[in-house]
Amino acid sequence: MNNEWNIRRTILDITHRWPIIIFVFLLGSVIGWGVSYFLPSPYQAEASVYVAFNADAFFRNPDDYKNWELGQLNALIHSDEVLSETLIRLNSKSSDWEYVSIDDIRQSLGTYWRNAGKWRLVAEYPDEDMALLLADTWRDVIVDTVAYATDNASEMLKISTAIEVNKTAEEQINLRIIKLQSVLDALSTWSDSLHIDEMDKPIETLDRWHLLGILTGISSEDPVYSALLDTIPEPDAPNIEYVDWVDQVLSVIKAEIEQLEPQAKELSIRVEQLNQEWKNRSDASNGLTAYLTVKKITDEQAESRPIRTAPQLALIGGVLAVLLWLVIVLSGVLNGEKDES
């Protein structure tokens, strides 16, 4: 009961000293106000961008891919490439940025986002005008950089399609050349296998069917060879006539091969060029895709506010002063009770 009575007495004693409390609060407020005057608050400028991701794009796991893409975007926003371009534009607008480094502005910038939608771009700087200029310029660089990257990503899709088309055409031509070369070799082998004394003899039935089988493999793909197949000598014709006919077929095959080989080489060169262009576009895309969009929400300039205001510091100073006074008073009361005991 004695301790409870002492606490009550102390509380009553403190409340009866309300003029002192008000004085201490006002004194702390004046000190807080003075701190705000001698240590001005830095300013925080905020600009916004709209970030969209095409959810209709087909991926095995769209959510994971979207989160990865947004992470790539956040990394790009704070990259040396973006900040370097930001600093270049700032220097072109004001000489105040002449001695500011990339690391300096990196420490002054921050992004706040949770998903696609509105992203807040915040710049903190001691000078209000410089904070506003930094936020606006950074936002413009981000929009331009992402637009350039996604344009290149879109071109990558077109180039990928062109690569597949050219590769398919090259493969088909190479397969045609291989088939023609096999027919050429087979016909040449038959002609070379004949002896001079066999030229006037009628062709063997199996040999005739062999020649027909060789040419039938390519005649269905080209009417030229179908026409040649129709001109094959009669079954009882001598070998010499078949040799002449085979020579005609060989000349046509050689002409087609000579025509196809440059086409295959040209397509191969084109595929290499497209692959290099795709790589260049990939580097320029900075890992972003054509499914991402970043643009300004409005054309208005960034908004700024001081991080701490004079009234806030005055209030904090007053509260801290009262709390400190209470600690001193309570310490004195507790020490007095100890001395009495």
pLDDT digits (tens, 9 = 90+) for 6-17: 666 666 677 767
How far the first Cα of the chain sits from its last, in Å, is 16
The 10 Å Cβ neighbour count of residue 3 is: 8
pLDDT at position 322 over 70: yes
Is the separation of the CB atoms in 257 and 266 below 8 Å? no
Q: What is the rounded average pLDDT of the residues 212-233?
A: 84
In the chain, which residues fall in CATH 3.30.70.1130? Answer: 43-154+286-306
Which three-class secondary structure string do you get for the chain? Answer: CHHHHHHHHHHHHHHCCHHHHHHHHHHHHHHHHHHHHHCCCCEEEEEEEEEEECCCCCCCCHHHHHHHHHHHHHHHHCCHHHHHHHHHHHHHHCHHHCCCCHHHHHHHEEEECCCCEEEEEEEEECCHHHHHHHHHHHHHHHHHHHHHHHHHHHHHHHHHHHHHHHHHHHHHHHHHHHHHHHHHHHHHHHHHHCCHHHCCCECCHHHHHHHHHHHHHHHCCCHHHHHHHHCCCCCCCEHHHHHHHHHHHHHHHHHHHHHHHHHHHHHHHHHHHHHHHHHHHHHHHCCCCCCEEEEECCCCCCEEEECCCHHHHHHHHHHHHHHHHHHHHHHHHHHHHHHHC
Identify residue 154 by its one-letter amino acid code: S
Identify residue 142 by its one-letter amino acid code: I
Q: Please give the backbone phi and psi of residue 234, each rounded to the nearest 5 degrees, phi first.
A: -65, 160
| 19-51: pLDDT as tens digits | 877 877 787 777 777 766 666 667 888 999 999
- Residue 5: pLDDT band (50, 70, 90) is very low
Distance, CA of 266 to CA of 260 (rounded, Å) = 10
Give the pairing type, strands 292-296 and 109-112: unpaired
- Residue 4, pLDDT score: 47
Is the separation of the CB atoms in 108 and 133 below 8 Å? no
Residue 176: CA atoms inside 13 Å, Cβ hemisphere, count?
A: 20
Q: What is the rounded average pLDDT of the residues 145-170?
A: 94
The 10 Å Cβ neighbour count of residue 202 is: 17
- Residue 167, pLDDT score: 96
Predicted TM-score of the model (pTM) = 0.70
The 10 Å Cβ neighbour count of residue 155 is: 18
- Residue 1: pLDDT band (50, 70, 90) is very low
Residue 306: CA atoms inside 13 Å, Cβ hemisphere, count?
A: 11
287: left (phi over 0), alpha (psi -120 to 50) or beta: left
- Residue 165, pLDDT score: 96
- Residue 214, pLDDT score: 86
- Residue 272, pLDDT score: 96
The CATH code that applies to domain 43-154+286-306 is: 3.30.70.1130
> In sequence order, what are the beta bridge partners of 125?
43
Residue 225: CA atoms inside 13 Å, Cβ hemisphere, count?
A: 24
Is the separation of the CB atoms in 41 and 308 below 8 Å? yes
